[in-house]
A and B are shown apart, each in its own frame.
Chain A
Amino acid sequence: MMKRLKRPIAFLSLLAFSFPFIFLFILSIAKGWNFPNLLPSGYSTERWSGLVQNTGGLLQSLLLSCKIGLVVAIVSTFTGFTISRSISLHSKRKYLLFACYFPLALSPVIYSLLLNHFFLKFNLSGTFMGVVIAQLIITIPFSILLLSSFWNERIRSLEQVSSTLGSNLQQIFFRVLLPVALPQLLICFFQTFLVSWFEYGLTIIIGVGKVQTLTLKVYQYIGEANIFYAALSSCLIVFPPAIFLWINKRYVFSKLN
């Protein structure tokens, strides 16, 4: 019975998963779509070709989001990895790890409002660097929490074995720790990239509307009731996460299992 239902269930799941993507794509190429028509009245690639010409600054926002996401993901993964190691060796590690929950427990909007004064004082408001720093304040503790479980007794023993075989600290880091931690580091990188990619509250407050990421563009188009451009920017916004999901499934999870 279950065997016979397996295929239809799989098909329905796939349909449910892919429907939003298909719907957004159709909406992004629709000329007009009036109620109660089932399908749009016509199709055009005008908006997509306008993207290349940077119509409405969409391409610029896409590149800016990529840049912020990559910087945030690289910095927070690297610092999260090294700080979580130091914390794992610290006598007060329980308290230090607990402290890492604070930036995450607070809403990013409230958090950014509290910090806004300092960003203004250091002339970081409305700048690329300001938004990156604000996002790092959220993503570094997140990385530390994500990677803290990596530093167990076994890893410590591997470090010790490597050391008695003649490795210095640098060799232990690059030849043992980094390759062993690679799947966890990739997951951390993807997760922090996604946190940055979808971040809205922090970016709008610290960026004061000057740092126009793709997420901000989507909200802007929704606010303007411009559903076709909102759909186009939404297509762009779901594209990198979809790629990461595929890479995760293809390379990372297969290594972890």
Chain B
Amino acid sequence: MLLNIQHISKQYSAESVLENISLTLNENRTLSILGKSGCGKSTLLKIISGLVLQDRGDIILKGKNINMLPANLRHIVYMSQEALLFPHLNVFENIAFGLRIKNEKKAMIETKVNHLITRLGLHGHHQKMPQQLSGGQQQRVNFGRSLIINPPLLLLDEPFGNLDTQTRAEMQQLFKQVAGEFNIASIFVTHDIKEALLMGDNIGYMNNGQLKIYETKKSFISDSITGAQQEISFWQTL
């Protein structure tokens, strides 16, 4: 088992954001978490990545408790809706960032970055600055920047939320391919039912700070609270 989260809770002032959350994730698997805005999805991801500290509960990564480990030593990359590329660096340097801070050898950085640039369909954009790229291209660079450090776990917080339908579909496909190729385990948070079903090997539903993990996609669809049935009947009656 790669990740084991046990009884995580978080409160902001008097408001409870996460209540007794537990989940497990195996290597090379993707867990989709569906939930409305403000249900605590982002807080959960930020806790796992070490950006926010939980009030209670344990995070165990590869059998090791990482509760007290700072974000920079966890190597769990958090990707948000916005690509958040470093505005002062070009495409090449943005992707190379994680290797540069580790003082890796120049030749190795060049080989790795160039490989990723080609793999992510960014050939010819090496020298472009973030503001010269489209939303989809920016998210590709963001992927490259995250993948290059070979993280044990990738946390995706509605990463395609800002993209148009077509680009979104392309990125979903690209992510599936890349996740398989790089053997990545990930937690994919979204408020889109179709995306949750498409991206996840396992699926969960989050509401008011509580998470329910479904054993199968079938059980997720048949549960009325997820809204999957309503979605299906909408398309059927159209």
A residues neighboring B (CB under 8 Å): 154, 157-158, 160-168, 171, 175-176, 179-180, 182
Which of B71, B75, B86 contacts A180 (CB under 8 A)? B86
A162: which B residues are within 8 A, CB to CB?
86, 97
For B57-74 the 0/1 string (1 means CB < 8 A from A) is 000000000000011111
Q: Are A161's CB and B78's CB within 8 A?
A: yes
Instruction: Kindly supply a per-residue 1/0 record for chain B positions 100-115, scoring 1 wherever the CB is within 8 Å of any chain A CB and 0 otherwise.
Output: 1110000000000000
Please indicate the chain A residues that have their CB under 8 angstroms from the CB of B86 in the complex: 158, 162, 176, 179-180
Least Cβ distance of B225 to chain A in Å? 31
CB-based contact B76/A180 at 8 Å? no
List, in ascending order, chain B residues with CB within 8 A of A179's CB.
86, 88
* Residue B146 is within 8 A (CB to CB) of chain A in the complex: yes
Residues of B within 8 A of A161 (CB): 78, 80, 84
- From residue B5, how far is it (CB to closest CB) to chain A in Å? 17
Distance A154 CA – B76 CA, assembled complex (angstroms): 20
18 further A-B pairs in the complex, CB-CB below 8 A; given A160-B46, A162-B97, A182-B88 = A154-B84, A158-B84, A158-B86, A160-B71, A161-B80, A162-B86, A163-B71, A164-B71, A164-B78, A165-B72, A165-B98, A166-B98, A167-B72, A167-B101, A168-B72, A175-B100, A175-B101, A180-B87
**B88 in contact with A160 (CB, 8 Å):** no
- B82 partner, pick from A157, A167, A176, A180, beta carbons under 8 A: A157
Q: Which residues of B contact A (CB under 8 A)?
A: 46, 49-51, 70-78, 80, 82, 84, 86-88, 97-98, 100-102, 145-146, 149
Determine the distance from Cα of A94 to Cα of B100 in the docked complex, in whole angstroms. 38
Q: Do residues A164 and B102 form an inter-chain contact, with CB atoms below 8 A?
A: no
A163 to B50, CA, bound (A): 9
Number of A-B residue pairs at CB separation under 8 A: 59
Q: How distant is A13 from chain B, measured CB to nearest CB, in Å?
A: 32
With a CB–CB cut-off of 8 A, which chain B residues contact A160? 46, 51, 71, 78
A164 in contact with B49 (CB, 8 Å): yes
A175-B101, A180-B87, A180-B88 known; A166+B82 contact, CB < 8 A: no
Within 8 Å by CB of B145, from A154, A165, A167, A180, lies A165
Least distance between A175 CB and chain B CB atoms (Å): 7
B14 to chain A, nearest CB (A): 16
CA distance A171 to B71 in the complex (A): 13
- A154–B130 Cα distance when bound, in Å, is 15
A residues near B100, Cβ cutoff 8 Å: 175
Q: How far is the CB of B237 from chain A (nearest CB, A)?
A: 41
